[in-house]
Amino acid sequence: MSALLQAELLKLRTTRTFVALVAAALALSLLVVVLVSILADEFNDNDVRNLFTADFTGLFIVLLGVIGMAGEWRHRTITSTVLAAPDRIRLLAAKMLSYAAAGALLSLIVTLTIMLVGTVILSLRDKETADLADLVDVLWRNLLVAALVGALGVGIGAVVRNQVAAIIGVLFAAFVLEPTLLGLAPDYGRFGPTQGAPSGIIQVAGFDGEDTENLLAPGVAVLVMLGWIGAFFAAAAARLRGGDLV
């Protein structure tokens, strides 16, 4: 398994996709943090904490996982991948684990960067800043979410296989379906894999005026995410195990 993990991580490092997604996630997250840190007047402890969860790694990581797995079919490299690692279930598991690790790494880079930049700007403006305990709390939650959605993305890519359809589906779920459900039927929306459950882990509902009472408790949210990952893993494994690669 360790050889498979190393190979998948090497695959990630040897294309421009990972670097491009890190850069995009970092740029977008920094843009939000810089603008809010500079322009917002009133800050309390919770607002600062929310500010540092404004990294976009979750979305980028789920897309990275989708691209990484569905890309095996798009570029028709799945054949050579399976020839090198004929145990398809181990291969799928290794891919999920490696993208979870990559997600955590990407989130680490982005979260530390926005924490540093945001804290510097807020300090220069004599605004409230988060203490170290709060920063650490935000950091591990971000890393956990990034790892989980990385694995989820691989599962989605392995089930859908058509890269474009999978990406459109994820974006639709993240920007349309789940926000709508969270607004209209939060009892259902909070179980969603791209917004609802991750928000429960991070325990962020939004700035001023919103609270976290509609969110799942962090532990429950983690279990829900693991459930989604398990479901996609099982569906993907069934497709992979029985399918012909022609």
Partner 1 sequence: MAPVEIRGLSKRFGNVLAVNDLSFDIDAGRVTGFLGPNGAGKSTSLRALLGLVRPTSGTATFGGRRYEELQRPSTKVGAVLEDASFHPGRTGRNHLRVLAVTGRHPPERVDVVLDTVGLTAAADRRVKGYSMGMRQRLAIASALLGDPEVLILDEPTNGLDPPGIAWMRGMLREQASRGRAVLVSSHLLAEVAQSVDDVVVISGGQMRGHGTLEQVLGGDEGPATQVRSQDDQRLARALQAAGHDVTALAAGGGLIVPGVSPQDVGVIAHDAGIYLVALGQQSRSLEQAFFALTGGESIA
Q: Which residues sit at the interface with partner 1, rule CB under 8 A?
A: 3-4, 6-7, 10-11, 14-17, 71, 75-77, 79-80, 82-87, 242, 244-246
Q: State the nearest-atom distance from the C-beta of 76 to partner 1, in Å.
A: 4
CA–CA dist 169, 160 (Å, integer):
9
Q: State the nearest-atom distance from the C-beta of 19 to partner 1, in Å.
A: 11
Q: State the nearest-atom distance from the C-beta of 241 to partner 1, in Å.
A: 9
> Which of residues 16 and 133 has its CB atom nearest to partner 1 in the complex?
16
Q: How is 127-187 classified by DSSP, letter by letter?
A: -----HHHHHHHHHHHHHHHHHHHHHHHHHHHHH--HHHHHHHHHHIIIIIHHHHHHH-HH
CA–CA dist 192, 194 (Å, integer):
6
Q: Check if the beta carbon of residue 165 is closer than 8 Å to that of residue 172.
A: no
Strand, helix or coil for residue 192: coil
> Which of residues 3 and 27 has its CB atom nearest to partner 1 in the complex?
3
Q: State the nearest-atom distance from the C-beta of 100 to partner 1, in Å.
A: 19
